[in-house]
Every structure is written in structure tokens, then in C-alpha cells.
Amino acid sequence: MKQEVTNKVFTVANLLSFLRLLLLPVFFVLFVVYRQDLLAFIVLLVAALTDLFDGHIARATHTVSRLGQLLDPFVDRVFIVIAVIAVFLADRLPLWLLLVLLGRDVVMLGLTIYQKYRFNHNFKVVFLGKVATVFMMSGFCSLVLWWPILPGADILELDALPGWGAEQAPLGFWLLYVGVVISWITVGIYCYKGSRPAPFSADSSSEDSSSLAPSPSDLPPATQASAQAASDDTPPAAFEERR
């Protein structure tokens, strides 16, 4: 059943999104400045859990709001940006992963601006994008805690690909690899959707169809005469009411 979208601001779901946004600078300071891995992990985990629950709560309580539809994906992007920069500054993330993850957000920003100004339409979040976000959030939590440690795959010895060599590496790297692949697949989906205008609604289509109806001046002369004669034979509305 389609959820009704409201203009409410102070909903439980929106408050959870605001809480997630406020927790991110707390995580950054704990992890990068004070090197408190455990505390930073707890804060980041709580922030990630709010992302899992806010959407479910909004739908369950019938409080899906226009603010929430904009706020939730925005906070998700801020989460990824702050997490990836923090983990990189802690020397726990290769440079190429930093560039790939941030580059994805730059591309999405450009697509969003293009879609808005070209078609006056906002993107709708696809389910695959939420899956990618879950993988990346889980991966960052693992890298912050640096646990669990998995044996290396012993496939390719490259410092830029932790986990692929013989050396042990946290599970978080594999979660990020999967998240990166899925996220760039969603970029392709968004590129396809962003190049097309939004479909017309039922109301707009009915208006368009009515506007396509020929005007009397467009009819042939004989048809115009018949139409005029029929209108002359039709009694006025006031006369009909008196009858």
C-alpha cells in the first residue's frame, strides 16, 4: 500500500536521522583525534543502526515525510564521507578506495543537480543503493574496531588490496569491496534514470489528452456548420431550468 507523504518535521524517523548526523562529528573526534577505537566504534555503530530503523519506523507509524525523504539519503552520504576520511586519516584505508568512494558521491551530486535543473525532478533512492550503504557502513565499523580478522586470500600481493594477499586483514575490507561494486552499479542505474524525464502522472496525462482535442476552428467548414447548427438548436441552460 502506498504511503502518504506528510509535511511533518518532528517525527521519530526524522529525529533518528538528525541524531545520526550529530553523532558523526563525535565519532570523527574520538577516532581521529583521541584514537579511542572502541568508543568510536560504538558511536559509529549506533549511527549506522539509526539508518536501519528510521525508514521502518516511518513506514510503520505512517509518518513518511518530505523532509525525511531528503534528509535520510543526505545523512547517508555525509556518513560515508566522514567515515571514509576518518579511516583514511587513521591509515587504515588505501588511497584508491578513498578516491573511489568520494568519486561516487561527486558523480551522484552532479547527476542530482542535472536531474533537478533539466527535468525539475528529484531522484528516488533505489533499493540497491540502500544495500550498498549497509555494506559500506558495516565495513567502516569493522575497520574502526579492526575486527574480525580474516586470513588472507593469497590471490594477489598488493598493498593497495588488503585481504587479497597472504597477510591477514579485517572483514571490513571485503565488505567495502562488495559495497563499492554495488554502489557503482547503482550509479549506472541513476545515470540511466537521470537521463530521462519523470513519467507523467495520471492528472497531467489527462490534461495533455484534453489539450490535444481539436478546437472548432480546426474542423472542416461543413463540420463547423453542423456543430454551429446543433449548438443553435440547444436551448439555453436558463430556459431548460424554467421548463
Please tell me the predicted confidence (pLDDT) of residue 150. 97
Are 175 and 112 a contacting pair, CB within 8 Å?
no
**218, part of any domain:** no
Number of domains in the chain: 1
**243, part of any domain:** no
How far is CA 74 from each of CA 80, 81, 144, 194, rounded to the nearest angstrom?
A: 10, 11, 22, 18
Q: Say how many C-beta atoms besides its own lie within 10 A of residue 130's C-beta.
A: 18
Q: Per the structure block, which three cell numbers stand in for 63?
A: 509518518
**217, part of any domain:** no
Report d(CA 74, CA 125) in Å as an integer: 11
Torsion angles phi and psi, residue 169, rounded to 5: -155, 155
**CATH number of the domain within which 80 lies:** 1.20.120
**138, part of any domain:** yes
pLDDT, one tens digit for every residue, the chain (243 residues): 566 888 999 999 999 999 999 999 999 999 999 999 999 999 999 999 998 888 889 888 889 998 988 899 899 999 999 999 999 999 999 999 999 999 998 998 888 888 878 877 766 778 898 899 999 999 999 999 999 999 999 999 999 999 999 999 999 999 999 999 999 999 999 888 777 665 543 333 333 434 444 445 445 554 455 545 444 554 444 434 444
**212, part of any domain:** no
Are 47 and 129 a contacting pair, CB within 8 Å?
no
What's the DSSP call for residue 149? Answer: E
Angle at 124 between CA 122 and CA 125, to 5 degrees: 135
**180, part of any domain:** yes
**116, part of any domain:** yes
Report d(CA 39, CA 239) in Å as an integer: 84
**169, part of any domain:** yes
Please tell me the predicted confidence (pLDDT) of residue 111. 85
How far is CA 51 from each of CA 57, 58, 68, 75, 91, rounded to the nearest angstrom?
A: 10, 12, 12, 9, 26
Please tell me the predicted confidence (pLDDT) of residue 213. 44
Question: Distance between the two ends of the chain, CA-based, in angstroms?
Answer: 49
Q: State the residue range of the domain holding 149.
A: 12-202
